[in-house]
Amino acid sequence: MLRTAEISLVGLALLPGFAKGETTNLGEYGPFNKIEFLTGTPDGSVWGFRAKKPDGKWYVIINGKEWGPYEVAGDPEFSSDGSSWGFEAKKPGGNWYVIINGKEWGPYEVAWWPRFSLDGSAAFYAATQTEPSYYRIERIRVPTK
């Protein structure tokens, strides 16, 4: 659905796990000025994307739940089994955080690349807190939902 100077995402998606030619309505979300990186788990049970609203802030939507506002938001990432999800984001004020299953880790000067173990029980990401940058690789136990 296209509206003047804004976009609404109508959630019709063909994700792995659905028969060819079938779609499932995942809902309507917006209004957004920009939508990026729609992705999902291999079985199609968990999905997400990042989007910019007319206020200029970024949001991450995971299975229909909105997280934000952020100055910058990374692409949503999922564990293979869909039990865990995460992304990195810069909050107003300049600090970066890694958000894993809704829990924030940080603040950091910069944070990147949340990745998950195959069973979703552990998350890994890179972060730095000082200049000059010394990078830390963090391994955390994923909080349960």
Query: What is residue 101's predicted lDDT score, i.e. its pLDDT?
Result: 94
pLDDT over threshold 50, residue 13 = no
* Structural domains of the chain, count: 1
Q: How far is CA 5 from the centre of its chain?
A: 24
CA–CA distance, 70 with 92 (Å, rounded to integer): 6
Greater pLDDT, 30 or 72: 72
Question: Could you tell me the residue range of the domain that residue 13 belongs to?
Answer: 2-141
Instruction: Give 71-121 pLDDT, tens digit per residue.
Output: 999 999 999 888 999 999 999 999 999 999 999 999 999 998 899 988 888
pTM: 0.78
Query: What is residue 10's predicted lDDT score, i.e. its pLDDT?
Result: 40
Name the pLDDT band for 22 (thresholds 50, 70, 90). low
